[in-house]
Structure 1
Amino acid sequence: MTDTGNPPTDTPLRDTPESWPVVSTDLPFTGKKTGVRTDEVRMPDGSVARRDYQVHPGSVAVLAIDGRDRVAVIRQYRHPVRRRLWEIPAGLLDVPGEPPLPAARRELWEETHLRAEDWRVLVDLYTSPGGTDEAVRIFLARELSSAEGERYEVSEEEADMERAMVPLEDLRRAVLAGELQNTCLVTGVLALLAARGGPGGLDALRPADAPWPARPVGA
């Protein structure tokens, strides 16, 4: 096997902003929350290529774990993949100007009727950067308790939603066995396990209000 070595010293080990020239752009479809954009992009060799992608407001997700090492999960039908998936609480950033942390608190309360006292940024990701600009911030929420007040009235897929507290170890096994495939759940579970084993453990995670260049507040 060929050893490709380390990255060049002038190549940072981080994603960096870059934008190739857009010759023309169109938004042929706009849905309730997202749309489809078509850009004609000039390539480095001078050619022009068409790129179609979903325009998305961004999302937040919450890996909420209790003192018994159980994770709050939900199970609901997802029509595009024709599956009922186990997931962690998540939702769109569809309130203009709302910072991600309040949105995450709201999603945790609405979907599991839980609140958390300790919040950290677990991981940030682009769900499918070749086909959508959706960015997701996954929070770690700890010190859980039952939330007071009435939950919102559920409808559509959420009316059939199941809720459970599942041991983290059971989720780990199911993820690696290919039995759980939701992006945020898989990423959140593996990121939590990696963070626990890293220098400083969970205390080394970023604060809940850490900058998020993919979705800067007020942009």
Structure 2
Amino acid sequence: MDLTEKRVNSNYIFHGKIMTVRVDDALLPNGEPCIREVCEHPGGVGVLPIDENRMVTLVRQYRYPYAETTLEIPAGKMDRGPENAEEAGRRELSEETGLTAGQMISMGEIWPSPGFMDERLYLYCAKELAQGACHPDADEFVEIVRMPFEELCQRVASGEIHDAKTVAAVGKMLIMGL
């Protein structure tokens, strides 16, 4: 059975710093017309840094859409043209935490919200860490938080951590045995 929907026409209604929004006229697999709203995003990267003692480094930051402060892995959007995901991960790790990684292990790609967004988020585990100076973007205000990986797992399991990329990275770490 073909489940493919086909785009007929696109109308771009917003072009922003982080995303572009379009409304598509499309055809369902049965040929019936439908409307699809799509947020186009340049993609992102999230990095779970873990040292030789199984301590992880996270960032605490305010997230405006939820009006809450979150605890999450260092991350950011891929905003330097067509960008290599690992290079973007190294940049974001350094900007937000001051850490550099001797080893970046790919944990694959996730689609945070495929019902309306085309964002691809690449996850990495960073090892062989060295501490340097943080240099966050002008609009980033982050607090560095370190804890044992096992504590992070407990916080994810209890529902304390809601951030999808952090939850996915913890799951990937466990599944991959990293």
Q: Which amino acid aligns with 2:151?
A: D
Aligned-residue offset at 1:153: 5.7
Give the structure 2 partner of residue 167 of structure 1: 148
CA distance in 2, matches of 1:194, 1:21: 35
Give the structure 1 partner of residue 72 of structure 2: 87
Give the structure 1 partner of residue 108 of structure 2: 123
CA distance in 1, matches of 2:137, 2:89: 18
**Runs of 4+ with >4 A deviation:** none
| Post-superposition CA distance 1:162-203 (Å, at most 9, x none) | 10211111111111111011111111112101111xxxxx4x
CA distance in 1, matches of 2:95, 2:137: 9
Give the structure 1 partner of residue 121 of structure 2: 136
Give the structure 1 partner of residue 23 of structure 2: 38
CA distance in 2, matches of 1:33, 1:193: 31
Give the structure 1 partner of residue 138 of structure 2: 155
CA distance in 2, matches of 1:171, 1:45: 46
| TM-score of the pair, normalised by structure 1 | 0.77
| Post-superposition CA distance 1:32-57 (Å, at most 9, x none) | 12111111111111111000021100
Task: Specify the structure having the higher radius of gyration (Cα).
Answer: 1
CA distance in 2, matches of 1:119, 1:19: 36
> 2:87 matched to 1:106?
no
Correspondence for 2:174 among 193, 204, 207:
193
CA distance in 1, matches of 2:138, 2:144: 15
CA distance in 1, matches of 2:155, 2:76: 23
Aligned residue for 2:109, secondary structure, equals: strand
Q: Is residue 95–residue 137 contact of structure 2 (8 Å, CA) maintained in 1?
A: no
Identity of aligned residues (%): 34
Aligned-residue offset at 1:154: 4.2
CA distance in 2, matches of 1:94, 1:174: 30
> 2:51 matched to 1:70?
no
| Post-superposition CA distance 1:74-109 (Å, at most 9, x none) | 000001111100010101111112211111110000
Structure 1: 5+ residue runs without aligned partners?
Answer: 1-10, 12-17, 197-201, 203-219
Q: Is residue 116–residue 145 contact of structure 1 (8 Å, CA) maintained in 2?
A: yes
CA distance in 1, matches of 2:54, 2:134: 25
Give the structure 2 partner of residue 209 of structure 1: none
Aligned residue for 2:23, secondary structure, equals: strand
Structure 2: 5+ residue runs without aligned partners?
Answer: none
RMSD: 1.7
Aligned residue for 2:171, secondary structure, equals: helix
